[in-house]
Homo-oligomer: A and B are copies of this chain.
Amino acid sequence: MAAALRLLDDHGLADLSMRRVAGELGLQPSALYHHVSNKQQLLGLVSDALLERAFHPGPATTWDTRLVAVAAALRDALLAFRDGAELVASTIAFGLGGRAPYDALVSALDGSDVSAGQRPTAARTVLHYVLGQTLQEQTRLQADSLGALPTGVSGPAVEESDFLDGLAMVVDGVRVRAAAGSRVDEGA
């Protein structure tokens, strides 16, 4: 995992091949198949290793600040490694890793008025937002670092506020459900 993460961060996801990982370890490619049954599974393990090292949401008191904190921590983790968003998004989509972020989002809703039935929906929605937005961000950042000069010396991190704006919208959507839940309670 250490070798794979080093390879990922130094050369990108495209170079994270079975042959290169094996080479990094001084092994033949076929040796990896004694520890993993195919490349997708290895990528799932690398994705989990990345999250273990970089995904550390801090504590927060209310459910909505917790949701924002988990989302921001996930974005930070994905941006901490080259192609991190692409790797984690794809392993999550194919269900071979990256369950920690989803679980953290569901836990963030503990003590909220969002009904138990709606929490998976809320968690998935926030997760899709963070993955999609961060993937696009990271792709653009890497395109810029290869592309033309920084024509506008464009200033720092225009993207972070974009991220937080969209995130606030999603959280507002969840809040509407929380309000509906508490109204039902009050009505009962």
Interface residues in chain A, defined as those with a beta carbon under 8 Å from any beta carbon in chain B: 86, 89, 92-95, 118, 121-122, 124-125, 127-129, 131-133, 135-136, 139-140, 143, 162, 165-166, 169-177
B-side contacts of A165, CB under 8 Å: 118, 121
**A95-B140, A95-B143, A139-B95 given; A169·B122 CB < 8 A:** yes
Across the interface, do A128 and B132 meet the contact criterion of CB distance under 8 Å? yes
Q: State how many copies of this chain the complex holds.
A: 2
Q: List 15 A-B contacts (CB under 8 A).
A: A86-B93, A89-B132, A93-B136, A93-B139, A118-B165, A121-B166, A128-B129, A128-B131, A128-B133, A129-B132, A132-B132, A172-B176, A173-B173, A173-B174, A173-B176
A166 CB → nearest B CB, Å: 5
Query: In the bound complex, how far is the Cα of B175 from the Cα of A140, in angstroms?
Result: 29
Query: In the bound complex, how far is the Cα of B126 from the Cα of A133, in angstroms?
Result: 11
Closest residue to A176 on the B side, CB-wise? B172
Query: In the bound complex, how far is the Cα of B174 from the Cα of A125, in angstroms?
Result: 14
Q: Which of B86, B93, B170, B172 contacts A135 (CB 8 A)?
A: B93
Instruction: Taking A121-B162, A121-B165, A128-B133 as given, write out 17 further A-B residue pairs in contact, using a Cβ cutoff of 8 Å, ordered by the A residue number.
Output: A89-B132, A93-B136, A95-B140, A121-B166, A121-B169, A124-B133, A124-B166, A125-B129, A125-B133, A125-B166, A128-B166, A129-B129, A129-B132, A169-B170, A172-B177, A173-B176, A175-B176
B-side contacts of A140, CB under 8 Å: 95
B-side contacts of A89, CB under 8 Å: 132
Query: In the bound complex, how far is the Cα of B172 from the Cα of A161, in angstroms?
Result: 21
Query: In the bound complex, how far is the Cα of B89 from the Cα of A139, in angstroms?
Result: 13
B-side contacts of A136, CB under 8 Å: 92-93, 124, 128
Query: In the bound complex, how far is the Cα of B99 from the Cα of A39, in angstroms?
Result: 32
Q: Across the A-B interface, give the 3 residue pairs with the lowest CB-CB distance, nearest first.
A: A128-B132, A173-B173, A169-B173
